[in-house]
Amino acid sequence: MLIESVDQTYTPVQREQVYRRNFLFFLMDGTLFMVAINLIGTTTVIPDFIRHLTNSEILIGLSSSLFDIGWLLPQLFVARYVVRAARKKWWFVGPNIPVRFVILLFAILIVVLGKERTGLILAAFLICYGIAAVGDGLVGVPWADLTGSSLDNRWRARFFGIMSALTGLIMLGLSPLIGQILSDAGPEFPNNYALLFGAAGVLFALSILPTLFIHELPGGKAVKEVPTLREFLPDLGRVLRHDSSFRAMVIVRMFSNLFIMAGPFYIGFATTQLGLASATAVPVFLAMQTTGSVTGALLYSWLGARHNLLYIRLALGAGALLPVSALLASVVGPVPLYAGFFIAGLVVSNLFMSYLNWVVGYATPDKRPIYAGLFNTVAAVTSLIAPLLAGTIAQSLGYEALFVVALLMALSALFVTVRYVRDPQPAAGVETL
């Protein structure tokens, strides 16, 4: 049974003022969070760190995908409970307070355990990184709902785009420092990585503060009782059966997860097969990717607010060039791979935000938690399979075979978006004040 959400009337001018204010707080939180994530990048620092602890390609792939898996899996189950609340802010802020200190705790554990206990460091990483991921997954649905209710389509696209651009500019400045920390002139292993995880942990903790000041606007209606699983699960099936455009976007997301499964292996390919040193490969590839992400973020902040679906199609087409660049690098040397990381930053860094923006803008306010939770949890299935598949291919058939599979997945995702995904209001992001 539905009950009315808390009603509060806002004039267009008042709403615009709230959007502007919320934009700043979302931007501060998002930028701090994204810089922290990039300091321990899943395609650069983390796979290089894990390669110092184990030579298992499967574990390396799993470690880099662990955050996505932990973030995605709980969201559908959280959505079932979130729908009973008209206000979602504290569903987002509350769990963040303890969870965003976990990476800082892991940095301390690295120093305490020391370089002789690599097995314990690996176990501690999997536990702490997994807790941080699941904790962020618990707040993923309320965060998506909050961005949908408390930012309009224009401000939300600007938030995603400018957040990516600011993150990229900051990371451009930090890349040489990361290279210095990981070089022979920096602290010895594992304290060099402990320093990076520690810096990221501090930023995660600081990102809690801006969220306290977000002003939540009324969103969807609350439900009086949490639906039972016998009621909840069939309703999800009906959504997938009858909403063909949403179903197609779910398929696109699954193909995309299989496309990015090669991400952790580009750095391993560069260091083990192309012969680049970690102190060279990690900061240079990070700088190239970051330079691309700044440019791509500015593009997305403009195009995403006008035609989000067009951006998704263009991004998938350009993203397919990353595995192509790796295949070329195996023949002619690392230069094409530098270009590939730039292209990956240009489009892929904003791709998943554009997916989320599509879902948040597509679903009605009442259905937004269910759509966001369903979208992310179904995608988690492929996120769980992807690192095992990628690691097996890389270990058994080689990096080049993995890059070919990634290319096919990117092209498949592009085909589905062009053929089956429809945006009923392609200019919905442009609103008249």
| pLDDT (average), residues 162-189 | 83
pLDDT band for 84, please (50, 70, 90 cuts).
low
Cα angle value 213/215/221 (rounded, 5°)? 140
In the chain, the domains with their CATH numbers are 12-218+228-419 (1.20.1250.20)
The reported pLDDT for the residue numbered 85 is 62
Q: Is 187 helix (H, G, I), strand (E, B) or coil?
A: coil
Give residue-wise pLDDT tens across range 316-355: 888 888 899 989 988 888 888 888 888 877 777 677 778 8
Burial 174-201 (b: 16+ CB within 10 A, else e): bbeebbebbeeebeeebbbbbbbbbbbb
Query: Of 3-17, 119-133, 135-149, where does mean pLDDT reach its minimum?
Result: 3-17
**pLDDT for 198-248, tens place per residue?**
999 999 999 989 988 988 877 656 555 555 555 555 666 677 777 788 888
Does the CA dihedral 417-418-421-425 come out positive or negative? Answer: positive
Residue 167 makes CB contacts below 8 A (sequence gap 6+) with: 31, 34, 35, 38, 293, 297
Upper half-sphere CA count for residue 14 (Cβ side, 13 Å):
7
| Proportion of the chain above pLDDT 90, given as a percent | 16
